[in-house]
A and B are shown apart, each in its own frame.
Chain A
Amino acid sequence: MDRKNLPQTSQTGWSLLFAAWIVVTTATLGSLFFSEVMGVPICVLCWYQRIAMYPLVLILALGLFPYDPRVVRYASALVVAGWLTALFQVLLVIGIIPESVQPCVQGIPCSDTHISIFGFLNIPALSLLTFTLVGILLFYSHKKESP
């Protein structure tokens, strides 16, 4: 690809988009590792977040080749949906939202967490962090394109 013909902003915008793709792909493979390899049970809320996360791997990749800044617009809907679900689950885990409102099947309560990294990062928190990071990266990528 001939980079000289692309304006400088476009290079940064592309790189930020690429960074976002790396984050969602890592998160996708990570979540598959937890459930398929380690056998951690999956609750309903996790599925909702996966529904928002997994398509981003393909959608963002399509926006990278050829570079199409408008992909941010399409991806943002999924990021917002995933972010809100992750926030809901984090609040559930902390206990701010009471147990009775949780929409979970018996046996796998969504307020249960199975893995914790560094003692405080459980999977829902990791998900919220990921969606936040992707949101920020997409936001700045978008800003670079439309100053």
Chain B
Amino acid sequence: MNRKTIFISVAGILLLAFGMATMIFQNHQATLHSGVAGQNQAVVQRQGAPVKGPADARVTIVEFFDPACGTCRDFYPYLKQFIDQYPGKVNVMLRYAPLHPGSDQVVKMLEAAHQQGKFWQALELLFLNQDRWIINHTSQPMRALNILNSLDIDQEKLVADMNSPEIARIIQKDLQDSQTLNVRATPEYFVNGRPMPSFGYQQLSQLVKEAVIEAY
């Protein structure tokens, strides 16, 4: 064999090995995903996390989100749309995944608002005004707090709650579960425990549709 033949053969073998390893890995992941669906509810959902939509819905979309995340803001209307599209059948649970610098303070703020029953108002306000409290991809908690001032909320209690060990424990639990579930980017969705095959509105919409058909 001359050198060129050897070279081309080895290059071919290496590429083939890469392709095969990719296929094997993806097959393995696919079986893994279908296996965990439904079984990891204890990790996917948290008792007491903010829920929108009917409490007795059989399909729950769990979103791990960062209030500073632009895509989370853009997807928020779709979530409301799913609740309306399947009346009584779908609800949405939000869980914290503060990945942006500074967001850890902002999610504490949201959880404190949640304790006063104002989570969704606070979240919508923060999403609407994202460009006012995020500077260079960094959350500015003081600016966020100022924006929440316009809500009918007990501001002093909010600030006090933000630093409570109870809220720290809740955030910690969300962070821990997001690590268990391999959440590395926001938003990440789990529809009845099942993740999207790849990221996108179509994929999410399809997943919700399948879950509704399965549950009803």
A contact set with B: CB distance below 8 Å = 1, 3, 14, 18, 22, 25-26, 29, 32-33, 37-39, 41, 61, 64-65, 67, 106-107
B contact patch SS: helix
Task: Give the distance in Å from the alpha carbon of A1 to the alpha carbon of B2 in the complex.
Answer: 6
**Count of chain B residues with Cβ under 8 Å from any Cβ of A?**
18
Contact of B7 among A18, A38, A41 (CB under 8 A): A18
Chain B positions 1-51 with a Cβ under 8 Å from a chain A Cβ: 2-4, 6-7, 10-11, 14-15, 17-18, 21-22, 25-26
Contact B4 A1 (CB under 8 A): yes
Nearest B residue to A106 via CB reads B101
| Chain A positions within 8 Å of B101 at CB level | 106
Contact B3 A1 (CB under 8 A): yes
Task: Give the distance in Å from the alpha carbon of A1 to the alpha carbon of B3 in the complex.
Answer: 7
- B184 touches A (CB below 8 Å): yes
Contact A33 B11 (CB under 8 A): no
B contact set with A: CB distance below 8 Å = 2-4, 6-7, 10-11, 14-15, 17-18, 21-22, 25-26, 99, 101, 184
Nearest A residue to B184 via CB reads A41
Task: Give the distance in Å from the alpha carbon of A50 to the alpha carbon of B4 in the complex.
Answer: 26
A64-B7 contact, Cβ under 8 Å, with A37-B25, A38-B25, A107-B99: yes
Contact B184 A26 (CB under 8 A): no
Contact B14 A39 (CB under 8 A): no
13 chain-A/chain-B pairs, Cβ below 8 angstroms: A1-B2, A1-B3, A25-B14, A29-B14, A29-B18, A33-B25, A37-B22, A37-B25, A37-B26, A38-B25, A39-B184, A64-B7, A65-B3
